[in-house]
Amino acid sequence: MRKTLIDAGPLIALFDKDDKYYDDIIEFMREYEGILYTSWPVITEVLHMLDFNIKVQIDFLKWFRRDAFNVVPITKESITRIIKLSEKYADIPMDFADATLVVISETENIKEIISIDTDFYIYRNVRNEYLRNIFEY
């Protein structure tokens, strides 16, 4: 089964009809077949950005509860790698949520991401590979 990471931007767009990526991500997700993975920091970022409407936040949480995606926990050991990534990409800068996705890609051997961030064309994992963004908008 196809395993893909999902970043905050597309998740926000799925639940914000005013987001410029809304139509594109809705269409993309209708056709996507596979299992989605993300991190708790990404979920936190999504809920923060959806704070304009508590009903929308609840809709997102209900969707999550229906197993729309899997959350991979970040371990204490992962923090060392997150620090190294944050230092390496300090000039971009790499935020915590993005760093967790790179770490998950390494630990779960996931090579694809759904993102609206161009930063993922720069970030490299421990094997010096970049995540292939499969969301073309």
Residue 63: predicted pLDDT? 97
User: What CATH homologous superfamily does 3-133 map to?
Assistant: 5'-nuclease (3.40.50.1010)
Residue 3: predicted pLDDT? 98
Average pLDDT, the chain: 95
- 46: how many CB neighbours lie within 10 A of its CB? 26
**pTM of the complete model:** 0.93
Is the peptide bond preceding residue 41 cis, with omega within 30 degrees of 0? no
> What is the per-residue pLDDT across 26-41, written as a single tens digit (0 to 9) for each?
999 999 999 999 999 9
DSSP string for 95-109: PHHHHHHHHHHHHHT
With bands split at pLDDT 50, 70 and 90, how would you rate the model's confidence at 118?
Answer: confident
Structural domain boundaries in the chain = 3-133
pLDDT above 70 covers a percentage of the chain that reads 100
